[in-house]
Chains A and B, each alone.
Chain A
C-alpha cells in the first residue's frame, strides 16, 4: 500500500505546462528522490501535493486522503527555502505550528525533542531573524517532525547546509524511513541525496523522464567521468585509447577527459606509471549517477 499516489498531474501557469501528466508513488519506508534541473517541476509537484497550488487535473492521495486542502495530520512537508516569522524565536514558531495542528497538549516536550533531533536546541530561544540558512533548514525539519510524519515531502532539504548538516539530514531521513515513514525529497544535485534514496523519479520539463529504483539507475548509469592531467597528455591519450572499457579524449580547457569505472581507471594509472608518464592531477568530475542524471535531464 503506497503512502503517496499521484497520477496524471497537470499544472499550467499561463502557456507553460509546469507539470504534464506527472505520476509518482512512495511506499512506507521508502525514500524517493525527486530529481531534476531547476524549473523541471519538482517544486510545483510538491506544492500540488501539499495543497498550496491547485492542479488543473490529476489524482492525489496522501495516506489515503484525497482532500487537496486538508492533509492528514501525519503528512508533513516543506517547499523551497525555509521561511518563519522572523520576529519570533524558533521555539515560538514551532509552538504556533502545534497550535495550528491542534496538538498543543504535549507540545513543549515534542518541540524539545524535535529541536534536539535537528540540532537546534541550543539556539531555540533566539529570534529566527538571526538564524543562518542552515539553521532555518534545520528548524524547517523540526517543524515537519512535530507532525510525527508517516509521509514526509521535502523540497531540497539539504540546500544551504554544511557537510555536517548534510550528514545529519541524511541520518534523520533514513531514521524516519526505517521507522516506516515514506519520504519524497527533491534535489537538483543527485550527489547530495545518493546515499539516502531507495528510488528516484527524474523530472524533465514537467514530465517524468525516468522512474525506478536506485539499483536500476546505477545499472543503467554510464561510467564515472574523470579529469586527468599528465606530464605528456598526448602519449597518455594514446595509451588510454589502447585499453579496454576506457573512454578518453581531449578536455575543452586542457588535459584529458576519461570515462571509466574505478577498476579500469586503476589499470590506466598503472600503465601510465610504467610508461614513465607522471600524473599531475586526477579528479572525479561526476559519479555514474550524476552522469546518468545529466543524461536524463539534458535539455
Chain B
C-alpha cells in the first residue's frame, strides 16, 4: 500500500472535489426530503401554500369588497381566474419569497446549528453530492409550494366564483378556456424567479451559516425589490431584480401578447440561480468543517453584517434606478390606455343592453397623459385625460368634447391601474341588462404595455 501525496495547493483550492454521482446526489436528495418533511416549519409552509389561497378566496366570498389595487383585483367576484391571478400577484410580492426562504434558507445553516456536518460528511456521500442533494431538495420544495398555491388558488377561485370569462389587459374578452391556459402558464412562469429566490436563500444559508438570515432575508429582499421597482425610470436596473420577473406574465394577458419581459426575466432568473449556486458551491467546496456548532448568541452578528451589506447594495441599486432607456413614457401609456378605454366603453354599453354596431369607433380627441412626478417618464402616478366627442341629444349641435380624467398608477413593468371619478363612467358596480350586479368595466381599467 502506498500513501497518496496530497499537494497543498490543490487541497486549499478544493480542486480534488469529486464530480457528484447521480446516485449519490439522489441519495442526498432523499435524505434532505425526509429531513424537511419532519420539520414543523416546513409542514406549516406547505400548509400555508395549500390552504392560504383557499382561505383568501373564502374571505373574498364573505365580503363585498375587492383588492382593487392588485391587478385583476376588482374582478375577483366576477371570475374565478381573477382569484388565482390576484393570489399570484401576492405570491410574487412576498408570499413565495417567504415560503421559499423557510424551505431553503436553513438547509445548510441547520447543519452548522446542529453540528451535523461531521455526521454527513463522514459517510459515503461527497461534498458535491450533499450540495446537489440540498439544491435539489430546495428546488423540489419550491416547485411544490408553487404547485400547491397554483392548484389551490385556481380550484378555490373556480369553486367559489366560477369559471367565467375575464377581461384582458387590453379590454378584450378572454374565454374561460383561454383564461385557464393563461393562468396555468402564468404560474409556470413564476417557477424560475421562485427558484432564483431559493438559490439566493441557499447562498445566504451557506455564506452566513445563520438560519435567521437564510429564512428571512429572501422575503425582506423581495419587499426591498418591490420598493426599488417604484423608483427610477430606467429599465435595466429594474430588469435585473428577481421580483420584476414575477410580473412577466402580465404581457400574456394583452390583446397582442408580448414575450420580451418573459424572455428577459427568465434569463435574469437563470443568471441569479447560476451565480448564487456557483458562489455557494465554491464556499462549501473550500470550507474546513472545524469547530463547534454555531451558537445562538453568535447568531446575531452575521445578520447585522448582512444587513449592512444589503444597505450598500440597495443604495447602489437606487443610484442605478435611471440606468437604461425609459420604459414608461406618456406616449406608451396613451397608446395602451385609449384602445382599452374604447373597448371597455363598448363592453359597458353591451352589458347595459345597448346595441353597438360593429365597426363603431369612439371619437377621442387630444388625449394627454402627464406624470405627477418631476420627470415625464417612469413608474408612479400619472393623470390621463381622454376627451370623448359625444353627440348632443338633439343632434343639431356638433359633438362636444367630454373630458374623462383617469388617475393612473403605473408599475415598473408597464402595467397600470386607471381609475376615474364616477361622473362619466359610473359606479364600480352596475346593473346589467338582466338586472344582475356586475363590475363596471370602465370604473377601473387594468392595462399593460411592453417597456422593453
A: residues with CB less than 8 A from B are: 1-2, 5-7, 10, 13, 44, 47, 50-61, 64-71, 73, 76-81, 83-88, 92, 96-97, 99-102, 143, 147
Are A52 and B289 touching (Cβ within 8 A)? yes
User: A71's contact among B16, B30, B124, B293, by CB below 8 Å, is which?
Assistant: B124
Given contacts A73-B124, A100-B125, contact A52 B39 (CB under 8 A): no
B361 within 8 A of A: no
User: How long is the Cα–Cα vector from A36 to B264 in the complex, in angstroms?
Assistant: 60
User: How long is the Cα–Cα vector from A285 to B290 in the complex, in angstroms?
Assistant: 35
- Interface size (B, Cβ < 8 Å)? 44
Given contacts A5-B3, A53-B288, A102-B27, contact A86 B34 (CB under 8 A): no
User: How long is the Cα–Cα vector from A88 to B45 in the complex, in angstroms?
Assistant: 19
Are A71 and B122 touching (Cβ within 8 A)? yes
Please give, as numbers and ranges, the residues of chain B lying within 8 Å of A47 by CB-CB distance.
118, 288-290
Chain A proximity of B136: nearest CB distance (Å): 14
User: A100's contact among B6, B118, B123, by CB below 8 Å, is which?
Assistant: B123
B: residues with CB less than 8 A from A are: 1-6, 8, 11-12, 14, 16-18, 23-24, 27-28, 30-31, 34-35, 38-40, 114-127, 130, 288-290, 292-293
Please give, as numbers and ranges, the residues of chain A lying within 8 Å of B290 by CB-CB distance.
13, 44, 47, 52-53
Residue of A13, A65, A66 with most chain B CB atoms under a 10 A cut-off: A66
Residue of A5, A54, A73 with most chain B CB atoms under a 10 A cut-off: A54
Top 5 nearest A-B pairs (CB, nearest first) are: A66-B4, A83-B115, A59-B3, A100-B123, A61-B3
Report the nearest A residue to B34, measured CB to CB.
A96
User: B118's contact among A5, A57, A61, A80, by CB below 8 Å, is which?
Assistant: A80
User: How long is the Cα–Cα vector from A58 to B27 in the complex, in angstroms?
Assistant: 32
Are A69 and B126 touching (Cβ within 8 A)? yes
Please give, as numbers and ranges, the residues of chain A lying within 8 Å of B116 by CB-CB distance.
83-85
Chain B proximity of A89: nearest CB distance (Å): 9
User: How long is the Cα–Cα vector from A52 to B5 in the complex, in angstroms?
Assistant: 17
A-B contact pairs, 18 of them (CB 8 A): A7-B3, A47-B288, A50-B118, A52-B288, A55-B6, A57-B6, A65-B4, A66-B3, A66-B6, A67-B4, A70-B124, A70-B126, A80-B115, A81-B292, A84-B119, A85-B116, A87-B40, A96-B31
User: How long is the Cα–Cα vector from A70 to B16 in the complex, in angstroms?
Assistant: 10
User: How long is the Cα–Cα vector from A71 to B18 in the complex, in angstroms?
Assistant: 12
